[in-house]
Amino acid sequence: MIKIQVQMFAGAKQLAGRDTVEVEVRSPIQARAIFDALQVAAPELTPLIPSCRLAVDNRYVIDQSIIDEDSTIALIPPVSGG
Amino acid sequence: MSANPTVHIDIVDAPIDLNALTEKVSDPDVGAHGWFVGVTRRTTDDRITETLDYEAHRPMAIEQLGQIARQAIDTYSLAHVVIVHRIGRVPVGEASIVVGCSSAHRVDTFAALPWMMDAIKRDVPIWKRETYTDGQQEWVHPDSDSTPNE
């Protein structure tokens, strides 16, 4: 298993109560697995996760994407800029 | 279309100086400058906003804003694009976002502004938290934001 840090923002940070959540995933790391692992590591995120996107190195990825373990990974709740 | 389109993107923690930005879309070969200024609104339905705070995933937001600006230049033959978003606390009546662009003819500038705003509201990792006068706080979810802020 590989330990990776997932950055939290806005409502996700508030729910998790921290800036990052560490998750454990198997290699190769698929984006979908990070969502699942987040619900284990921080169950309080569960209601928000279905509406979140995952960003890897500042770009959105789809659930099937394979992620390099050295990447910067962020959980992106629904945005509301402007 | 300008030979050298330019993009100016910024995320700031202080009030946005609109006048200082106007020169960034100036060009002898454009006939239209267009601006959109989104400001904090006091009322949402029957609720009164006490404060509005914005948070950003700053490096990703900068990258996403740049992509949107470059795509707008390609799609609408713009000469120049400026996008500045303010984060932190934005008092009622002050600007949270300024989007400006210029083009040879007005039709492109008119079309590009709403397209850029829609893209920003859909994809740029910036979040808004309302604090209402009744003390309630909430992160604005796009689905719950039935009457957009500006």
> Which residue does chain A place closest to B54, by CA atoms?
A81
d(CA A14, CA B131): 15
| pLDDT recorded at residue B8 | 98
CA distance A68 to chain B (A): 18
What is each CA distance from B60 to A56, A72, B102, B133, B147, in whole angstroms?
Answer: 10, 11, 25, 32, 26
Residue from the list A11, A14, A79 with its beta carbon closest to the beta carbon of B124: A79
Question: How many domains does chain B divide into?
Answer: 1
Q: Compute the count of residue pairs across chains A and B with CB atoms less than 8 Å apart.
A: 75
Q: Is residue B51 part of a domain?
A: yes
Closest-approach residue (CA) in chain A for B114? A82
Q: Establish if B107 belongs to a structural domain.
A: no
CATH number of the domain where residue B127 is located: 3.90.1170.40
Q: What range does the domain containing B41 cover? A: 6-14+32-101+115-140
Q: Is residue B76 part of a domain?
A: yes
In the predicted structure, residue A78 carries a pLDDT above the cut 50: yes
User: What pLDDT, on the 0 to 100 scale, is given for residue A20?
Assistant: 98
In angstroms, rounded to a whole number, what is the distance separating the alpha carbons of residues B101 and B81? 4
User: For position B44, what pLDDT does the model report?
Assistant: 85
For the CA atoms of chain B, what is the radius of gyration?
16
Residue A82 has pLDDT above 50, yes or no: yes
Q: Dihedral (C-alpha) B42, B44, B47, B48: value to the nearest 10 degrees? A: -10
Residue of A nearest to B127 (CA): A80
Query: What crossing angle do the helices spanning B106-123 and B58-76 adopt, rounded to 10°?
Result: 150
What is the pLDDT, as a whole number, of residue B91?
A: 93
Nearest CA in chain B to A9: B57
Query: In order of start, what are the domains of chain A with their CATH numbers?
Result: 2-76 (3.10.20.30)
Confidence of residue A62 (pLDDT cuts 50, 70, 90): very high
Cross-chain CB nearest to B124 (options A14, A51, A81): A81
Q: Note the pLDDT of residue B142.
A: 66
CB-count exposure of residue A45 (10 Å: 0-12, 13-18, 19+):
buried
Residue A45 is predicted with a pLDDT of: 97
Measure CB to CB from residue B121 to each of A10, A59, A81 and give the nearest one: A81
> What residues of B are in contact with residue A7 (Cβ under 8 Å)?
57
Is B45 within a domain? yes
DSSP B140: P
Ranges of chain B whose pLDDT falls below 70: 1-3, 142-150
Predicted complex ipTM exceeds 0.90: yes
B57, B126, B145 ranked by CB distance to A74: nearest:
B57
Q: What is the pLDDT of residue B140?
A: 83
Total residue count of chain A as it appears in this document:
82
What are the E-state strand segments in chain A? 2-7, 20-25, 29-30, 53-56, 59-61, 66-67, 73-76
**Cα angle for residues B55, B117, B73 (degrees, 5° grid):** 115
Is residue B23 included in any domain, yes or no? no
Contact status, residue B102 vs residue B34, Cβ threshold 8 Å? yes
Q: Which of A14, A51, A79 to mutate to test the interface with B (most CBs of B within 10 A)?
A: A79
